Amino acid sequence: MSLFSVQPSRSVRSRTFAVASLRVDTMLRAIRFDRAILLQTLAVTTLAIVAAVLLAHVTFPALVGLTLREVGLAVAVTAGLVAAPIGFGLVQVIRSVTVHRQRLAEREVLLAQVQRFVDVGYWELCLNTRTFRLSETMHELLGDAGHSLQLTCAGLLQMAVAKDRPALAVTFEELAAGISCRQVEFDLQRSDGRIRTFRLIGAKKLSGPHQSPKAFGAIQDITEQREMEAALRASEDHYRHAVDLNPQIPWMEDAHGNSLEISPRWVELTGLTVEESKGTNWVHILHPDDYEQTVHLWEEALRRGYDYDVEYRLRLADGTYRWFRARASARRTDEGEILCWYGTLEDIHERKTADIALRASEAFAASILHGSTDCVEVIGLDGLFQYMNPPGRKLLDIDTVEPFLDQNWTDLWPLNDAPRIREAVDQAASGRSVRFTSSRPTHKGVQRWWDVCLSPIPGPDGQPARLLCTSRDVTASRVAQVELERAKEDAEATARVLRNVLESTTDSVLILDREWEIRFINERARALLLSGRPVLDQRLWQLAPMLVGTVFEDRLRTAASGGTVVSFEEYCEPLAAWLEVHAYPSAAGLSVFFRDVSSKRQSLHELEYLAHHDSLTGLLNRAALRSHLDRTLIATSPECPTALLFLDLDEFKSVNDSLGHQAGDHLLRLAASRLRTCLRDTDVIARFGGDEFAVVYSGSRHPDDIGTLAKRIIEALSKPYPFEDRHVVVGASVGIALANSAEAEADDLLKRADIALYRAKSEGRGCFRFFETGMDDDAVKSQELRADLRNALSGDELRLRFQPIMNLQTSAVAGFEALLRWQHPRRGLTSPAEFIGLAEMTGAIIDIDRWVLRKACATAAQWPGDLSISVNLTAGQFKEQGLVDAVATALVESNLPADRLRLEITEAALLQDSESVRAMLASLRQMGVRISIDDFGTGYSSLGYLRRFQIDNIKIDRSFVADLNGDARTTPILRAITTLGQDLGISITAEGIETPWQADRLQTMGCHEGQGFHFGAPLDAFEVCDFISANRQGRHVSALVER
């Protein structure tokens, strides 16, 4: 059988009708034997009669004249002479008959045994009566163990299955017509009810003129044979599919290396036919660089019989090359002679290219380590020193690191710093980044101060495998810092006195000496505690006995005796008020500041309620429902399952957009009320935000109950909603997830319900769907990302990176652009391109944009005062009515001057050219915020924007900068933009500067600012100050590949 093509096997039928031939032979022998006996008997009788006649003819004339006794004697003698040969002949005939019948009986016994051995039975059919005479074996084949079956043609046809009856009937008719040697296969239901497959062969029997015509033949049970043939075909199909679907390409070559057979996938991949691949023609599609080694190794394997394992590139049908791994092993005879070679060809292109990329990445990392100005060290989790880069060795005056290998890194630092440094190593080993400043002498004993950052290096499992230590020499800045800290301490001492004075004007203040006598009390404290009585130089416990034995006394005495500041809140029953107390001990006594915070506690209580409830509908919010779901799942079991129904309102956005938010809020309140009427008191309902709701339904053992509930909810929410003078109609879709075990996780249940809701909405809305394993993977991924996006802000997963914007005329840092990234807990650092669209679709973009604005302003407020921060606004945020207030709030909270904030808007946001857009831009500029048009020169670019709107900056799209050297038409366009900006007093910023040539070219054109990887990649917040410092010291900061 071929490796790659399956041929139908020939079944062995040598025994199928051997018995039939034997039976026919026996019958013919019996017929010939009967004829021989008859002829012998006739011959003996004839001879006897002739002898008697001759003897009578001779003797009868001689009897004339004899006496009666003599005549009788003569007759007796004559009869004896006649009877003797007749008797002898009959004896011989009888003996022959007996011998032949014994032999016939033996053949019959042998025939019966052979019939049972090969499952063949004999039959004889009377063509007149259409009745069968069956052999014992045929009775058994038909399931007639008692041999009681009286079979006719009609009965046999009735036993045959319906599909085979016509062919069987035609066979009997042809036998009756004298057509011999007919064969037919058919399925038949035996007397015991089992269906078996049989093959029948027969012929018409020769008969005399007065004999009934008969047919005879044999029947064989071929059920097992057919089953074996079917199993063989299935096995061959299985093998063929296994070969066709195998990702590897099997092949076979003879002992001399000539290709014999190869998988059809080879033809598909290379475009060579099987014939073109025969022999050694396949080597012609090897990559030229791999040809010599591949052929040499194959020839060595053929010559020595070694196993063959080599990697090379092959030219595919489309002309491209792809990496493969070929492996082969020889098949040998018992004497060790090679018969042929079996091998496989495995596609390793992705792995090979990844290995090549990894080596390039390692080389790149090495170049960074060698080019760094910092000391970079690698430390084991056990604290042992492993590596130091060459610049680090130079900084520490070390010629070689061999003496330090396997030495504990903490031992390289001063002994008094060892505990702190050891703690830093432990924290980094636990997965956190640690930063500290400490002194460490060089190998020559020169004392230096170092700014040290310890970070974990993750292993393949994501857990820390080693530690990366980056140390920067900050000796010069440390000296200045010490002087600064000394001055700061003096200022803080003065500030503490001033703070106490300021606090005394807002709080109730008591100053007590060490004997608890009151040395000072302000009017607010006097009015609260002592109703205005004079109290100076009197003991506190005498004037305020209601405090004795209370928490207040205990805490104040603790502060005084322990010398530690004590702060607490406690309810004072005599005053019927909650007091917030701060006690500051000193050598002279105790300063106590307290205030009535009853209203604050009430507000906190209200805030606590709002933290767990939706302010619009009064329903629980997401956090509260999640907490309830966690508790419910603990008690979940197969007997007491939990169902989570996740639903939203179909077409709600259309209502909100067309009728306004007031109509949307009204509809949501009505929907919440209707939901309450659909549920039991024990069920929990929450609003997740927007038009999304969730229901926790537990205690029902029947899934049908949950489906009925979902239908009831859909019907209730789909009824018209009254609003002013009209009725609004929306629908509802429901996704359901079930939990039958306490092992279920709330996040998984929420995710499954969300996926089921997605399926319900995708199937037409207005329906419900239970979560099922195997639902559309794309929907699952989208829902997962959507669910994760809800927690991105609350889970502190969003990150800002800051890319430098450089002044092209002075090479100084002009500012930074804030770039958003999502540190997804499972997907890692995620580009905005993957989630901004989803955020806009779900409405989460508003909160994300506000977070970006606040975070960017707060970060920029820590930079030197002349640096700007650029923040991108989406078109949706620009249309939001609260944008101006959001910007104002971010500036106030961060204390960032408005003129340092630059808002970048796309030209699409200006398309409406409405009064609201004009008013919004005017309000922002009135605050002092600068406005920049991003990606200028693409999309809907129009010079009319520059005339109608007040614009401070234009950012030239990176596509123009990229074409600066290759497209001659780009230079005039850029020169025109910069000239236009200069004439209008608008600054020009070029994006995507990658090379020094581009920067110089744009600078000569009059472009004010530049941004791109030539100046720096996006930085983390803690890297910005280092970048600014390096820039201002005149050092060039190399662009780093963005993490």
Within 10 Å of residue 142's Cβ, how many Cβ atoms?
23
* Residue 31, pLDDT above cutoff 60: no
| pLDDT tens per residue, range 152-196 | 988 888 889 999 899 888 888 888 887 765 688 889 988 888 899
Give 1026 or 48, the one with higher predicted confidence: 1026
**What is the rounded distance in angstroms from the CA atom of residue 892 to the CA atom of residue 853?**
12
* Residue 665, pLDDT above cutoff 50: yes
The type of residue at 567 is S
DSSP 450: E
Cβ neighbours of residue 369 closer than 8 Å, sequence gap 6 or more = 376, 389, 390
Evaluated on CA atoms 483, 488, 491, 492, the torsion sign reads negative
pLDDT at res. 359: 82
* Alpha carbon distances (Å) from 782 to 199, 254, 741, 755, 834: 62, 53, 26, 9, 10
Q: Are 391 and 372 in contact (CB under 8 A)?
A: yes
4 confidence band (pLDDT: 50, 70, 90): very low
The type of residue at 856 is A
Give 165 or 837, the one with higher predicted confidence: 165
Classify each residue of 361-379 as buried b or exposed e, where b means 16 or more C-beta atoms within 10 Å of its C-beta: eeeeeeeebeebebbbbbb
**What are the phi and psi torsion angles at 249 (to 5°)?**
-110, 105
548 confidence band (pLDDT: 50, 70, 90): confident
* Residue 488, pLDDT above cutoff 90: no
DSSP E strand boundaries for 155-245: 182-189, 195-205, 214-221
10 confidence band (pLDDT: 50, 70, 90): very low
**What is the rounded distance in angstroms from the CA atom of residue 792 to the CA atom of residue 852?**
12
3-state secondary structure 992-1026: CCCCHHHHHHHHHHCCCEEECCCCCCCECHHHHHH
Torsion over CA of 510, 514, 516 and 517, rounded to 10 degrees? -80
**What is the rounded distance in angstroms from the CA atom of residue 659 to the CA atom of residue 722?**
13
Q: Which fold has domain 507-602?
A: Beta-Lactamase (3.30.450)
pLDDT at res. 912: 47
Per-residue pLDDT averaged across 648-653, rounded?
83
Can you count the helices (H) and strands (E) in the chain?
Answer: 33, 36
**What is the rounded distance in angstroms from the CA atom of residue 817 to the CA atom of residue 1009?**
12
* Residue 94, pLDDT above cutoff 80: no
pLDDT at res. 734: 94
| pLDDT tens per residue, range 461-484 | 888 988 888 888 888 887 787 788
Cβ neighbours of residue 904 closer than 8 Å, sequence gap 6 or more = 817, 870, 871, 872, 873, 932, 933, 934, 955
Select the highest-mean-pLDDT range: 27-36, 700-709, 784-793, 922-931: 922-931
User: Which of 1042, 534, 450, 477 lies closest to 803, judged by CA?
Assistant: 1042
Tokens 């399925």 locate to 187
Which superfamily is assigned to 798-1032 in CATH? EAL domain (3.20.20.450)
* Residue 93, pLDDT above cutoff 70: no
Q: What is the rounded average pLDDT for all residues in the chain? A: 81
| pLDDT tens per residue, range 244-261 | 666 778 888 888 888 888
Per-residue pLDDT averaged across 69-90, rounded?
67
Q: Which fold has domain 246-353?
A: Beta-Lactamase (3.30.450)
* Residue 764, pLDDT above cutoff 50: yes
* Residue 438, pLDDT above cutoff 70: yes
SS3 930: strand
DSSP 257: S
Low-confidence winner among 110-124, 144-158, 403-417, 430-444 (lowest mean pLDDT): 110-124
| pLDDT tens per residue, range 386-423 | 888 888 888 888 888 787 777 888 888 888 888 888 88
Per-residue pLDDT averaged across 90-117, rounded?
66
Q: Are 931 and 892 in contact (CB under 8 A)?
A: no
pLDDT at res. 253: 87
Domain spanning 120-221, CATH class: alpha beta
140 confidence band (pLDDT: 50, 70, 90): confident
- Please, which residues bridge with residue 722 across strands? 727
Q: Are 14 and 228 in contact (CB under 8 A)?
A: no
**What are the phi and psi torsion angles at 516 (to 5°)?**
70, 15
Evaluated on CA atoms 232, 236, 237, 238, the torsion sign reads positive
Give 508 or 1018, the one with higher predicted confidence: 1018
As a CATH number, domain 373-473 is 3.30.450.20
pLDDT at res. 19: 45
> Pairing state of beta strands 930-936 and 901-906?
parallel
Select the highest-mean-pLDDT range: 58-72, 238-252, 660-674: 660-674
Per-residue pLDDT averaged across 740-765, rounded?
83
As a CATH number, domain 613-790 is 3.30.70.270
315 confidence band (pLDDT: 50, 70, 90): very high
